[in-house]
Structure 1
Amino acid sequence: MTTPTEPPVPPPVRPAPARPGRKLGPIAENVGSAHRAWLDPLRTAYLTSGLTLNDLSSRVRFAKSKISELLRGVGLYPRWEIVLRLANELGMPNWPLYRLWSQAALETHKSSEWINGCTSGTTVTATHTAPPLEHCAFRELVESDYSLYAQVFLDDNQRDNAVSDTFDRLWLSWNEALAAHDTRRYAWNVLRTTVMARTPHRDGRPELGSAAFDTVTLQNLTDPAAYANQLTETLELFAAISRLPDRQLDVIILGRLCGFTHEAISALLGTSLATVRSDERHATRFLDSVIPPHSTEGNRQ
Structure 2
Amino acid sequence: MTNPVEPPEPVGRSVPGRPGRKLGPIAPSVGSAHRAWLEPLRDTYLTSGLTLTDLSGRVKFAKSKLSELLRGVGLYPRWETVLRLAEALDMPNWPLYRLWRQAAFEAHKSSEWIERNVQRPTLTTTHTAPPLDHRAFHELVEGDYLLYAQVFLNDDERDAAVANTLDILWLCWNDALSSHDTRRFAWNVLRATVMTRTPHLDGRPQLGCAAFDTVALRSLTSQPDRLQQITESLELFQAISRLPDHQLDVMVLRRLCGFTTEKVSALLGTSLATVRSDERHATRFLESVLCPPPTEGTTP
Common topology (TM > 0.5): yes
Q: CA deviation at 1:126?
A: 4.5
Q: Indicate conservation of the 8 Å contact 1:27/1:71, yes or no.
A: yes
Shift of 1:210: 2.5
CA distance in 2, matches of 1:125, 1:81: 10
Identical counterparts, % of pairs: 74
Deviation at 1:52, TM superposition (A): 1.1
Aligned to 2:245: 246
Match of 2:219 in 1: 220
The residue that corresponds to 2:265 in the other structure is 266
Q: Deviations over 1:180-211 (max 9, x none)?
A: 11110000010111111111111211111221
* Aligned residues of 2:118 and 2:124 also touching (Cα < 8 A): no
Post-superposition offset of 1:215: 1.0
* Aligned ranges 1:185-200 → 2 under 5 Å: 185-200=184-199
Q: What amino acid is aligned across from residue 161 of structure 1 in structure 2?
A: A
Letter in 2 for 1:69: E
Over 4 Å off, 4+ runs? 14-17, 122-126
Structure 1-normalised TM-score? Answer: 0.89
Is 2:141 the counterpart of 1:142? yes
1:102 shift after superposition: 0.8
1:38 equivalent to 2:37? Answer yes
Q: 8 Å contact 1:150–1:163 — kept in the other structure?
A: yes
Amino acid at match of 1:43: R
Greater Cα shift, 52-61 or 97-106: 52-61
Across the aligned residues of Structure 1 and Structure 2, the Cα RMSD in angstroms comes to 1.6
- 1:224 offset after TM fit, Å? 2.0
Larger CA deviation: 282-291 vs 207-216: 207-216
8 Å CA contact 1:95, 1:124 repeated in 2: no
The answer to whether the Cα contact below 8 Å between 2:261 and 2:272 also exists between their aligned partners in 1 is: yes
So what's the TM-score if we normalise by structure 2?
0.89
CA drift at 1:158: 1.6
Distance 1:111 1:127, change over 3 A: same
User: In structure 2, how many angstroms separate the alpha carbons of the residues matched to 1:226 and 1:132?
Assistant: 50
The DSSP-based 3-state class of the residue aligned with 2:151 is helix
State whether residues 93 and 127 of structure 1, in contact with CA within 8 Å, keep that contact through their aligned partners in structure 2. no
Residues 149, 123 of structure 1: CA spacing in aligned structure 2 closer, same or farther, 3 A cutoff? Answer: farther
Counterparts of 1:17 and 1:229, CA distance in 2? 58
Matching residue's letter, 2:80: E
Tell me if structure 1 keeps the 8 A contact 2:151–2:208: no
Q: Distance in 2 between matches of 1:179 and 1:124?
A: 31
Q: Which amino acid aligns with 2:58?
A: R
102 and 68 in structure 1: CA distance in 2 versus 1, 3 angstrom threshold: same
Q: What does residue range 84-233 of structure 1 map to in structure 2 within 5 Å?
A: 84-122=83-121, 126-233=125-232
Distance 1:94 1:244, change over 3 A: same
Distance 1:122 1:45 in 2: 26
Choose 29-38 or 216-225, whichever is displaced more. Answer: 216-225
Structure 1 residues 186 and 30: CA distance shift in structure 2, 3 A: same
* Contact 1:81-1:122 at 8 Å conserved across structures: no
- For 2:147, the aligned partner's letter is L
Cα pair distance change 1:50/1:278, threshold 3 Å = same
Q: Relative to 1, partners in 2 of residues 1:15 and 1:214: Cα closer, same or farther, differing over 3 Å?
A: closer
**Partner amino acid, structure 1, of 2:162:** V
SS of 2:75's equivalent? Answer: coil
Structure 2 unaligned blocks of 5 or more: 1-12, 293-300
Moved more, 216-225 or 175-184: 216-225
Confirm or deny: 8 A CA contact 1:166 1:194 kept in the other structure: yes
C-alpha distance in 1, partners of 2:269/2:262?
Answer: 10
Segments of structure 1 that go 5 or more residues without pairing to the other structure are: 1-13, 294-301
